Chains A and B, each alone.
Chain A
Amino acid sequence: MSNRQEFIANIAKKLGRPTPSSVTPIEVTYPLFQTNSPEGRLEGFLKMFETMGGKVAKAATSAEAAEALKTWFGEKPEWLDANKVVTWNELPTMARACLEELGWPARIYADLPANREERYAIMDKAELGITGADYGIVQSGSLVLKSNAKRGRAVSLVPIRHLAFIPASAIRDRLDQVLAELKESSIPAAIEIISGPSRTSDIEMDLSIGVHGPVEIYCIVIDNQ
């Protein structure tokens, strides 16, 4: 018997029956949080995103998005430099247009050096990572990001600031709805559910923001429909 068969057979033995060939899935019920309208959902998301420690703005046009960025980072942030803004390849149209409008130089993650040491050295010094987001969650103020070759996982993690553009139509009330939709297509190598900036209370239970992940998190909700 292989190690695996033995391992499984031992569990069956302890349970006092052979391993079943199929199991009826379990049904559970629990109270479901729900917003009542698309407007309510959007407002709920904006509020909870801020509660979680992020900054968020609605934008109908790239000009509005550019205004929000200027408010947050200044007309021309002091940290702005050739390698300081890194983005996904796949960004919503508004995000690219917004960067063009601002005239801020940005690197695309997949265009960084293929050598991982060099690439991570650049990321380590990056000031702003810009991504899209597949879903937003009202109940927890979260962003949900799927990975693929054009959406580097480091972009939302390594730079000091993370900014995500998300269409209002991608906002859901709850995590279970998002997971159910994710299940409908093939599962990516990583699904990151992000709720606020990196934080810790490990020293005397004193809340401290910005440990290993981004110190600041921003979100533009694309609301143009």
Chain B
Amino acid sequence: MSLDNHYDVNAALDKALNDDFLRKATRRATDRLRNNKKAITDELGNWEEWRQAGEKIRNHVVLNLDYYLDMLIDNVEKNGGIVHLAKTPEEAVNITKDIFKKHGFKSVIKSKSMITEEIHLNPALEKDGIEVVETDLAEYIIQIANEPPSHIIVPAMHKNRDQIAKLFEPIAGHPLDSDTPTLTKFAREQLRQKFMASKIGITGCNFAVADTGTVTMVTNEGNGRMTSTIPEVQITMMGMERIVPSFKELSVLLNLLARSATGQRLSVYTTLTTPPRHEEDLDGPKEWHLVILDHNRSEILGDEEFRSSLRCIRCGACFNVCPVYRQVGGHAYGSVYSGPIGVVITPLLEQDYEKWGHLPYFSSLCAACAEACPVRIPLHDLIVKHRDRKVLKGYTPNLEKKIFKYYGYYFSRPKTLNKFIRLGAKFQFVLVRNGRITGGPPPLSNWTNSKTLPMVAKQTFRDQWPELEKNLQNMKRGDK
């Protein structure tokens, strides 16, 4: 799931923090999305009741996932769809490749799908000589730039209009104005040709409805509709937890999703397809494949502490309120899923604390994410649990281990500790500026590089105690 084999957390953070445009753009996008959400959820009436309904529905599905998945498979097959179950990303990729081989397709149109990012589908298809065309405007932009998404809802928010115009120019073969209508029109024309000529499409899936075999996809641009309307073969990719029991629960979640993601009442196009096309229908896929991916979701399911993270509906609301995400943007995380939910699910999906152990520290534990979540996932609690588990599993850096070892040693030997503190109080002046400790040798410098420490008190509490105790005795006597 790594975006870059040479990912280094400090280098990635330095890069992000020194990129003024990125930081401004991230704040602009997240502020806009957050404010839109606020307005549109206020309009709905008691948002807390909606969140509780969302939580209840998603919990119910997660706890009965085998039952609903079985029902979904039955109904999709009854409708004439082809279901593929993939335990691993590799299996999902191979299933997809086989479909291409069977038909001999050399080009595919795609509408936005985080699952395909998760399994790294595009590079795998391209390796087979297949042209992959991303059709969501933002995905189209970052595909040309050869970059991963920086936000699950607005994946290209780190690019400015001039950069986008520069990316489009080699394709256009002439200079382009960098105003939004020109750039949008250019993408529309380019992708129109691809849509009209397309033979196969790949889409994501926001929710699959178990009792009808329906898949739901929301887009604002219409690329999702194009991808599910024009090609004669369609592949839908979904994580196995993205299920709702019936239309009844679907309407609640569609409201929660659109309002939390972009602050819309509903997305412009909410498409409920129950493929394949019916006899005599003129549009829609004749052949439809539904690829259902596990990729350690079953491990999360079996892990009661983290099970609630499977409730996620991928709205991105937690990104927009996260003080860490808002400072560094999505790329600094190094993972496909960033933001608070990415912090929680990446180490679980990858079952790897060694590589992803840095993620639980991309949080101030302020809990704004949990408050924003439309299905009430206690994200900050889960982030703390990750830190805890990382330590228990022995992935603590040596320095940290040493510090806590010494901490334990000295704090259980009060006399020695007191001696050290007295020494510290005496010699701290070399490190003190304006009443705060502002520098020092490692490991102290890890802290003082970015913030200051209060001074060690001239007299320790222990040294003050005889005096304090006398006062206390006097006070007690006074009471009587």
Partner-B contacts on A (CB < 8 A): 3-4, 7-16, 19-20, 23, 25-26, 28-31, 33, 48, 52, 109-110, 116-117, 119-121, 123-124, 137, 139-142, 147-149, 152-154, 157, 174-176, 179-180, 182-183, 187-206, 208, 210-214
A20 and B183 contact, Cβ closer than 8 Å, known pairs A11-B69, A28-B56, A212-B195:
no
A148–B278 CB distance below 8 A: yes
B156–A33 CB distance below 8 A: no
B266–A124 CB distance below 8 A: no
**Complex CA distance for A139 and B57, rounded to whole angstroms:** 22
Binds A, one of B247-255, B324-332, B400-408, B417-425: B247-255
* Among A147, A176, A194, A204, contact of B268 (Cβ-Cβ < 8 Å): A194
B244-301 residues with Cβ-Cβ distance < 8 A to A are 245-252, 254-255, 262, 264-284, 294, 298-299, 301
Chain A residues closer than 8 Å to B68, beta-carbon distance: 23
Chain A residues closer than 8 Å to B114, beta-carbon distance: none
Chain A residues closer than 8 Å to B428, beta-carbon distance: none
B301–A14 CB distance below 8 A: yes
**Complex CA distance for A12 and B69, rounded to whole angstroms:** 11
A31–B282 CB distance below 8 A: no
* Interface residue? B50 (CB, 8 A): yes
A23 and B160 contact, Cβ closer than 8 Å, known pairs A157-B226, A157-B229, A213-B269:
no
Chain A residues closer than 8 Å to B138, beta-carbon distance: 200, 202
B223–A121 CB distance below 8 A: no
* Among A15, A120, A199, contact of B63 (Cβ-Cβ < 8 Å): A15
A202–B156 CB distance below 8 A: yes
**Complex CA distance for A221 and B269, rounded to whole angstroms:** 20
B270–A193 CB distance below 8 A: yes
* Among A12, A140, A157, A198, contact of B66 (Cβ-Cβ < 8 Å): A12
A203–B180 CB distance below 8 A: yes
* Interface residue? B144 (CB, 8 A): no
Chain B residues closer than 8 Å to A196, beta-carbon distance: 268
B109 to chain A, nearest CB (A): 10
B281–A189 CB distance below 8 A: yes
Chain A residues closer than 8 Å to B255, beta-carbon distance: 175
A182–B180 CB distance below 8 A: no
Chain A residues closer than 8 Å to B195, beta-carbon distance: 212
**Complex CA distance for A28 and B83, rounded to whole angstroms:** 30
**Complex CA distance for A144 and B340, rounded to whole angstroms:** 35
* Interface residue? B67 (CB, 8 A): yes
A189–B251 CB distance below 8 A: no
* Interface residue? B451 (CB, 8 A): no
B1-43 residues with Cβ-Cβ distance < 8 A to A are 25, 28-29, 32
Chain A residues closer than 8 Å to B160, beta-carbon distance: 204
* Among A31, A121, A142, A206, contact of B49 (Cβ-Cβ < 8 Å): A31
* Interface residue? B170 (CB, 8 A): no
